[in-house]
Amino acid sequence: MLAKRIIPCLDFSGGRVVKGVMFKNLRVAGDPVELAELYSSEGADEIVFLDITATEENRSTSLDFVRRAAEVLSVPFTVGGGIRTLEDARSALFSGADKTSINTASVKDPSMITTLSREFGSQCVVVAIDAKRNYAPPQESSMKLFGPEGSRFWFEVYVRSGKVSTGIDAIHWARRAEELGAGEILLTSIDKDGTGSGYDLELIKAVCESVNIPVIASGGCGEPQHMYEAFMAGADAALAASIFHFRKYSIREVKEYLLGRGIAVRL
């Protein structure tokens, strides 16, 4: 059995790690490289860095922190936010990142997924999907609906740090991303982000049943049990921020809990 991965996420803006609720009301949590080094020493399996204002500011990812991170980290790390072109991805990877995460750019131009996969290998291409429940009738009758009659909903893809709706069904988009060459899906529930109420298990289950590539569950983790639930829903990795940044739990505490529940993790 493959070990499940625990992945701290460091959203940063202006050189500092920040964390909000539903992508809003950000508060500062620390220096991205210092926190990443701490998490690496505690047993994180990977680290994800997301430059959350790069797309809105129409700029590429800041590479200074990528180089700094590469100097101190002993675990793989992914860089996202502002990866808009092949050259952006190349710069991030050549600066030391192991993977690149693309979101807005891939929705705008899906062929970018294939381009990056052919150039660097699918293992380097993480397609990030930020999804939100939409209770309006879907545009296509083929979309899968969730929830009881009278409150049916579907999962819609959002871009530009969760600010712009696309009308795209997240389940369909995950399947399409795999077809185009994505090696992994980073799946974030905007509704759950920062709430600490648990991952959106319906979203995770639906995407995991639709693709054959690894899925990283993101958005809503407040305690180790939530990670257990995400893994039982099919996730290959669990991403979390607040519980680590504000020291509610250490990575080792999370892994010991999961191991006790029968989940294979690396200690």
Query: What one-letter code names the amino acid at 247?
Result: R
For tokens 């701490």, name the residue: 38
Q: Is 130 a catalytic residue?
A: yes
Q: Is 191 a catalytic residue?
A: no
What's the longest Cα–Cα distance across the chain? Answer: 54
Catalytic residue among 88, 130, 193, 200: 130
The Cα–Cα gap between 134 and 63 comes to 36
List of residues 6+ apart from 42 with CB closer than 8 A = 250, 251, 252
Tokens of 255: 């892994």
Torsion of CA 50, 55, 60, 63, to 10 degrees: -20
252 φ/ψ sector (left φ>0, alpha ψ -120 to 50, else beta): alpha
Q: Are 42 and 78 in contact (CB under 8 A)?
A: no
The Cα–Cα gap between 264 and 1 comes to 7
The Cα–Cα gap between 56 and 45 comes to 30
HSE-CB at 11 with a 13 A cutoff on CA atoms is: 22
Q: What amino acid positions are annotated as catalytic residues?
A: 11, 130
